[in-house]
Structure 1
Amino acid sequence: MLDQIHLLAAVTVLGVLEQAYFFLQVIYARRAFGISPPKISGPPEFDRIFRAQVNSSEYFPIFLALLWQAGLFFHQGLAAALGLVYLYARYQLLYRIQGLILRKGEHLCQPWSMQEPLGFAFGNHNVLQRSSRLLLAALVSLHDSALPSFP
């Protein structure tokens, strides 16, 4: 049984560690901008980091459910690989937001949509859309190939 879930378990542990990292980034941002809990708003820079962390936390249970269902019922390796793509995309989101905040003299919303400061995260999240579509297509093709053919 363990050989059937070891990749899924590794991606799950990595996802939990990523969530802990995101929580720490919000704590550091609270200290840097002088925002004490339970306040959840402040300067736009803090709001962006906080929203990226909260958005990741909101979708984490859905990610785990899909990861484990795909891995157990279809293909463990493919589900784990696409899970890693998802976790990498979430990390890149927070990393880019922090990079923009740390640069001086640059508008925070410049690289993405001017209408929405986090257009990459909430509007134009192409990486996440592509990985979820790829996962769905792969699972459907694996499911179809696993079905027995009847004469």
Structure 2
Amino acid sequence: MYSVVVEHIYLLVMVTLISVLQNAFFALKVEKEGNNKEGQNVRTSGFERVCCANRNCMDAYPTFMAVMWCAGLCLNQAPAAFAGMIYLAVRQKYFVGYMGETSQSTPGFLFGKRILFFLFLMCIVGIFNYLLVHYYGSEYKEYVETITSAASALLLIP
């Protein structure tokens, strides 16, 4: 029983753990920037940007985790985990871009929204597929998973 459950979520667990490490990295950046001016009560613009980038990433984090896990459990973990890894890379780009000029973070922000929308659609398709199977007895899941797996590669197109 245990191995069957783990088999269906291990990719999602790996992406979740990587996201935890990324959150720790962001927190260390904020702490490091805050300690640069230790002993002074002056907040630098660099500190403000790092704090704002961290706060923005943390605001979107629960949404990301919810849609990634729902998409992985309701439909297919492989494309959900793939989209999750891309989202983490985009979030890193957003964070680093925000530490420079805030305009450098815009592409990361927009691409991140696109990935969240894709994961949300995966959730909807997975729920719809479940309802079809439950009420009509038709098995469309294989077709839907194939389409979703192929569509996840489309995330790479700018």
For normalisation by structure 1, the TM-score amounts to 0.71
Deviation at 1:136, TM superposition (A): 2.9
Give RMSD over aligned pairs: 2.8
- Aligned residue among 112, 120, 125 for 2:106: 120
- Paired residues of 1:7 and 1:76 also in contact (CA < 8 A): yes
- In structure 1, the residue matched to 2:36 is 32
The yes-or-no answer on 1:20 pairing with 2:27 is no
Q: How does 1:1-151 map to 2 (within 5 A)?
A: 1-34=5-38, 42-98=43-99, 100=100, 108-109=101-102, 112=103, 120=106, 125-144=109-128, 147-148=132-133
Once residues 58 and 137 of structure 2 are traced to their aligned partners in structure 1, the CA distance between those partners, rounded to angstroms, is 45
CA distance in 2, matches of 1:78, 1:60: 19
- Identity within the alignment, %: 24
Higher-helix-fraction structure = 2
* Cα distance in structure 2, aligned partners of 1:70 and 1:81: 11
In the alignment, the residues of structure 1 paired with residue 39 and residue 8 of structure 2 have an alpha-carbon distance, to the nearest angstrom, of 45
Q: Deviations over 1:12-39 (max 9, x none)?
A: 0000000000000011111223377xx8
Amino acid at match of 1:17: L
Work out whether residues 70 and 79 of structure 1, in 8 Å CA contact, stay in contact via their aligned partners in 2.
Answer: yes
SS in 1 for 2:43: coil
Measured after TM superposition, the shift of residue 119 of structure 1 is 6.6
AA aligned opposite 1:27:
E
Helix, strand or coil: the match of 1:12?
helix
Task: Give the whole-Å Cα distance in 2 for the aligned partners of 1:58 and 1:144.
Answer: 28
How far 1:133 moved relative to its partner? 2.2
Stretches of structure 1 that go unaligned for 5 or more consecutive residues are: 101-107, 113-117
- Cα contact 2:71–2:77 (8 A) shared by 1: yes
Quote the residue 2:144 is aligned against. Answer: none
- In 2, the alpha carbon distance for the partners of 1:29 and 1:47 equals 9
Shift of 1:143: 4.8
| Partner SS state of residue 36, structure 2 | helix
Query: Where does the alignment leave 5 or more consecutive residues of structure 2 unmatched?
Result: 139-158
State how far apart, in whole Å, the 1-side matches of 2:137 and 2:31 are.
59
